[in-house]
Structure 1
Amino acid sequence: MSNPTFTLAEGQPIANPSVSTTLPTLGGGGITTLGDTLLIETLSHFNQLFMPKLLVRGENSRSPMISLLSRRPISLMAWAKKTPVLFRLSTTGGEKGSADTVRDVRGFSVKFFTEDGNHDIVGNHVPVFFVRDPIRFPSLNRSHKRHPATNRPDWTMFWDFHVNQPESVHALMHLFGSRGIPDSIRRVTGFGVHTFKMVAAGGRFRYCKFHFRPTQSITHFSEQQATRMAGANADFHTQDLWDAISHRQFPAWKLYVQVMEPDQAETYGRALFDITKVWPHKDFPLIEVGQMTLNKNPDNYFAEIEQAAFSPSNMVPGIAMTPDPMLQARMFAYPDAQRYRLGVNYTQLPPNRAICPVYAPFERDGMGTVTRNYGGDPNYVRSTLSPGVPSQVVSDVRHTERIEHNAILAQNEIVVDDEDYIQPRELWNRVFDEIEKRQWVANVSETLGDVPAELKEAVIGMFSKVDPRIGQMIGAKSKSSSRL
C-alpha cells in the first residue's frame, strides 16, 4: 500500500490518529470518555506491548514528612504529622541498566501511605510535558526510544515527532538546558505537572499544582562530564543516593503548592489544564506545606522497587482530578499497565499495600491473592448481608465544575499558536543567561548532525518561533560543524 489509510486495529478508518475525543471544559481542558475507542485501544496496547517488566529504574526510601494529604487540605498548614513515603526517580528513555547520566526527563514519583489510603504524586523533574493530548503519549515514547529497524536511538525519529507536535517546544527548552542532566538525584526538582483540586467540606475547592524542591542547591553535569560518567559508572546516580543515605546524609525536599481560586480560573486561559505550560510564580507563589526526607534504602530491590506501582489515580479524600485529558488518561493507563506487569492483585504487594484497613470485597480473586480474600462476605454491591458501611468522608468532597456552553464531544485538538511559544520565549530571554543560551544551542546542534536537511530546517524553524536568534545560532552552529 503506497498511501494506506489510518484505521483502528480491526480496520475501521479513522480521521486523525493524533487527536483523542474529548468534551471540552474551560482552561483548555477536556473530559475523556470510555467511548473513545482509539484512545483506549492505543493506550492499552502500548501498556501490554512489552514483556512484563519495569521499563524505568529508581530508588526508594520511606521517610517522615509533614502530611499535606488530609481530609481538609484547604487548611494545609494546620496539619503537622509524619507520613511514610516510598520514592522512585528514574530516567524515562532508557531501559533498565542504561546509564543514569544521560540527557533525559526523569520520572519523579512519591507514594504517601496515609490513614485514608495511598496517595501518589507521579510527575517529572521538569515542570512541563511534551504533549497535551494523551493519544500522542505512546508515539512520544517510541520517538525517544529505539528505531524499529536499527534498534538504536535515532535523532531523526526524535525530531520528526517533535516538529510535528510543536507544543513540545517548552519541554524541549528545559530538556536541552542544564536541567536535562542533573548531577545527583539528591539535587533534582520534582513536579506533579498536572493541575489538581483541593476540596474542602461542603464542596469548596481550589486548583493546585505540587512542587518538590531540594533543600540542597540545584546543580547539573555538563554534557562532557555526563558522557564520561556514563562510561565510568553507568549507575552513578543510583550509587550516589544509596551512599548518601547509608552515611546518614539524608537528602530532603521541601513540598510546595501553588493555589488558584476558581474565579481566577474562569479567565486564566489554556495554562489552567495544559501541561505544556506552567503557572508563573509571580502570579501564584509557592506555598510551603511540608518536607520529604529520604532516610532508608531498600532492603531488597525487587521486592520494594521493582514491584512498586504508582498511579495518579491514587488520590485520598480532599484531593481530586481535573479536566486535564492527560491526567484522566494516565488515571486509566497506569493501573492498566500495573495489572499487566505485576498481576491483577498488585495492590497486595508490600510496596503498594495500604497501611490503613482495606475493604473491597467486590474486587477479589485472581492470581497473586495473598489475603484471606474476604472470606464469605458478599462479592457484589448493595448487599443487605454485607458488613461494609459507606464512607462519610467521600461525601464531603462532592463539588461541581463548569462545562463550556455548547461543549461538543469530538476530536477537539488545541491548535498550536503563538501562545505556545510565549513561555518558552520567557525561559530563553529571562531565565537563561548567555552561557546557558550558547550551551543550549550546542546541545541541540549536536543532535542534528545526521538529521536530513529538510528536517533540520524544520527544527530551526520551530525554535525560531521562540526567538529568531535561536534559529540563527543553531543554523550557524550546524554550518560550522558540517565544515569540520
Structure 2
Amino acid sequence: MPQPTPTPRAARPRTLTTESGAPVSDNQNAATAGAGGPLLLQDQHLLEKLARFNRERIPERVVHARGSGAYGYFEVTDDVTAYTSAHFLGAVGRRTETFARFSTVADNLGGPDAARDPRGFALKFYTEEGNYDLVGNNTPVFFIKDPLKFPDFIHSQKRDPFTGKQEPDNVWDFWAHSPEATHQVTWLMGDRGIPASYRHMNGYGSHTYQWTNAEGEAFYVKYHFKTNQGIRSLSSEQGAELAGTDPNSHQTDLLQSIERGVYPSWTLHVQVMPADEADGYRFNPFDVTKVWPHEDYPLRRVGRLVLDRNPDNVFAEVEQSAFSPNNFVPGVGPSPDKMLQGRLFAYADAHRYRLGVNHTQLPVNAPKATTARNYGRDGLMAANAQGRHAKNYEPNSYDGPAESGSPLSAPRPLSGWTGTHEAPQHTKDDDFFQAGELYRLMSEEERGRLVANIAGGLSQVARDDVIERNLDHFRAADPEYGARVEEAVRELREG
C-alpha cells in the first residue's frame, strides 16, 4: 500500500492546542460514551472551550460602555516649560506614544454611536516618567459639580429599573432638581450634541488641573483639544437615521480612516491661570459646570495629537483599557475641583472591579517608556512576582525601589472646618449665566434646533411641576430661551 507523501514542515498548519499547550486531536466532535451516547466529563478540550466561552465578557462599564480606541502620538510644538516640568511636555519636537478611547456616556455596550450624548475623550500618555491619563469629554463642562450626586445622576439617565428603558421623566426630574446642569444641557441639546464622528469633535479635560514648573510655581490649567478635521455634527433626524442603519458608525469611521492612512489629529491648547489668582476670581474656577472666558485666560498652543494605528484586538486593547485621572506624572497634579477629586478614587476602583487588581499589568495599561517598580504582589491574574528573593515590603535592605522624596505637584494651603460644605461662593457664582451666554452666542437657526431638541424630551414628562422647574432654569439663563422652550413644549403637548 503506497504511503502518503509527507507535508513539508514549512507548509504544515500550526497545531491547535489546549490552553495548557497540549495538541487537540478533534475540534469538530465532542467525546461521547459510544457513537450516540452522552458526553464524557473527561473531555477536557470541550469543558475548557465552553468554560472560556461563558467568561468571554466582563462587566461593562457603568458609564462610557460603548467605545472605540486607537494608538498614536503626542508631539510638543510649543514651549510650555515656564508652566510645567513634565518631561513629556519639556522639549519642542518630543513625541510620546498615546492611546485614545472615545465613547458615549449613558448607553450600554450595544448602543448606537450616533446618540445625543456627551462623548468621552480619554488619553493615556506612555511617558518616560510613567503613564499620564487625561480623562475628559467632548464638552468643556459637566452636569453636576459634586461627586456625591454622580450615582443619582447616572441612575436618572440610564434604564429605569421597572420599564427597562431610558425615561424622560427620570432624566428631566433630576435636571429639574439640579440647576447647575443648565449649562451642560444647553451644550448637549445644541448642534454639537451628536458629533458626526469621533474625528470631527473637540476634546476637553473639562476639569481644572494643576501644572507645576521646575521652580515649584503652580498654575491651574484647562485642556482643549481642537479637531483639525473641523467640527461636524448631526441633526436629531440624521442621528436617528444613522443609529438605525449603522449603529457602529463612529467605530467604522475611526477604523477605516486610520486604515486608509487618513490619520485624525487634534491641536492641544491650554488655558493657564496663576495659582494665586484662583481664590479671587469672580466665580469658582474649579466648578466643572463653568468655562473660563478666553478673554481672561487665552488659549496657548502646546502640541498635536495624531492617531495612526488601530488596535489589533478591540476587547484586549479598547474594552480592557483603563484610564484613571489619578495617574499623574511629575509636573502635573489635581485641583480642588470636587468632581475631579471624586473621580480620582472612583475610576481606579471601577477598573479594579471590572478587570481585577492587576489590570495595570495588561499591555494596553502598562507603562511602555519606563518600568513599573513597586511592591504590589499577588491577587487575581498576578504576573508581577519580580524574581526570586524579591522583597514585598519597603523600606528594606535589599536595594528595592525607594521613594523619590519629590512631590508630583505643588502643595496647596488649606484652612477651615471639616464637614459637608457647599462650594465656596465667589462674587459672580451663578448656575445660569454661562448657559445664557452660550444661548446668546447661537445663531437663530441654532437656537431653533436647541429649543426643538429640549422640547422633544421635556414634553414627554408626565408631571407639570417637573416641566415647570426646568422651564424656570431656562428662563433664568435667558428670558427668551425659557419662553421659546415653554411655547414649544405646550405645542407638542397640545398637539
Same structural fold, with TM-score higher than 0.5 when normalized by the shorter chain: yes
- Residues 419-434 of structure 1 aligned to structure 2 (within 5 Å): 419-429=430-440, 431-434=441-444
Secondary structure class of the residue paired with 1:63: strand
Give the Å deviation of 1:110.
0.6
Are the aligned partners of 1:377 and 1:386 in contact in 2 as well (CA < 8 Å)?
A: no
Q: Indicate yes or no: 2:155 matched with 1:146.
A: no
Match of 1:237 among 246, 250, 256: 250
Secondary structure class of the residue paired with 2:173: helix
Q: Amino acid of the residue matched to residue 438 of structure 2?
A: L
Give the Å deviation of 1:415.
8.8
Are the aligned partners of 1:202 and 1:396 in contact in 2 as well (CA < 8 Å)?
A: no
Q: Counterpart of 2:200?
A: 187
Are the aligned partners of 1:128 and 1:275 in contact in 2 as well (CA < 8 Å)?
A: yes
Q: Counterpart of 2:481?
A: 470
Q: Counterpart of 1:395?
A: 406
In 2, the alpha carbon distance for the partners of 1:376 and 1:75 equals 35
CA RMSD of aligned residues (A): 2.2
Q: Amino acid of the residue matched to residue 198 of structure 1?
A: W
In 1, the alpha carbon distance for the partners of 2:317 and 2:226 equals 25
Name the one with the larger helix percent.
Answer: 1
Q: Amino acid of the residue matched to residue 445 of structure 2?
A: I
Q: Counterpart of 1:52?
A: 59
Q: Counterpart of 2:347?
A: 334
Q: Amino acid of the residue matched to residue 264 of structure 1?
A: E
Query: Residues 61 and 224 (structure 1 numbering): CA distance in 2 closer, same or farther, change over 3 Å?
Result: same
Q: Indicate yes or no: 2:135 matched with 1:125.
A: no
Give the Å deviation of 1:422.
1.4
Give the Å deviation of 1:377.
2.0
Q: Amino acid of the residue matched to residue 446 of structure 2?
A: E
CA deviations 1:105-140 (Å, max 9, x no partner) are: 111101000111100110010000111111111111
In 2, the alpha carbon distance for the partners of 1:298 and 1:74 equals 26
Give the Å deviation of 1:77.
7.0
Q: Counterpart of 2:293?
A: 280
Are the aligned partners of 2:330 and 2:409 in contact in 1 as well (CA < 8 Å)?
A: no
Q: Amino acid of the residue matched to residue 292 of structure 1?
A: L
Give the Å deviation of 1:403.
2.3
CA deviations 1:17-73 (Å, max 9, x no partner) are: xxxxxxxxxxxxxxxxxxxxxxxxxxxxxxxxx972234122222212215998724
Which of structures 1 and 2 has the larger relative contact order (alpha carbons within 8 angstroms, sep 6+)?
A: 1
Which of structures 1 and 2 has the bigger CA Rg? Answer: 2
CA deviations 1:128-184 (Å, max 9, x no partner) are: 011111111111111111111111100110111111111111111101001111111
Q: Counterpart of 1:228?
A: 241
In 2, the alpha carbon distance for the partners of 1:390 and 1:51 equals 35
TM-score calculated relative to the size of structure 1: 0.84
Match of 2:228 among 192, 215, 225: 215
Give the Å deviation of 1:384.
2.1
Give the Å deviation of 1:75.
11
CA deviations 1:396-419 (Å, max 9, x no partner) are: 656332324xx1211102399962
In 1, the alpha carbon distance for the partners of 2:493 and 2:434 equals 32
Q: Amino acid of the residue matched to residue 180 of structure 2?
A: E
Q: Amino acid of the residue matched to residue 448 of structure 2?
A: R
Q: Amino acid of the residue matched to residue 401 of structure 1?
A: R
Are the aligned partners of 1:361 and 1:377 in contact in 2 as well (CA < 8 Å)?
A: no
Q: Counterpart of 1:47?
A: none
Give the Å deviation of 1:298.
1.0
Give the Å deviation of 1:369.
1.3
Query: Residues 389 and 402 (structure 1 numbering): CA distance in 2 closer, same or farther, change over 3 Å?
Result: closer
Are the aligned partners of 2:377 and 2:384 in contact in 1 as well (CA < 8 Å)?
A: no
Secondary structure class of the residue paired with 1:66: strand
Secondary structure class of the residue paired with 2:123: strand
Secondary structure class of the residue paired with 2:103: strand
In 2, the alpha carbon distance for the partners of 1:352 and 1:334 equals 14
Q: Counterpart of 2:391?
A: 378
In 1, the alpha carbon distance for the partners of 2:493 and 2:424 equals 35
- Residues 33-432 of structure 1 aligned to structure 2 (within 5 Å): 52-55=59-62, 56-67=65-76, 72-73=85-86, 78-391=91-404, 395=406, 397=408, 399-404=410-415, 407-414=416-423, 419-429=430-440, 431-432=441-442
Give the Å deviation of 1:195.
0.9
Q: Amino acid of the residue matched to residue 473 of structure 2?
A: M
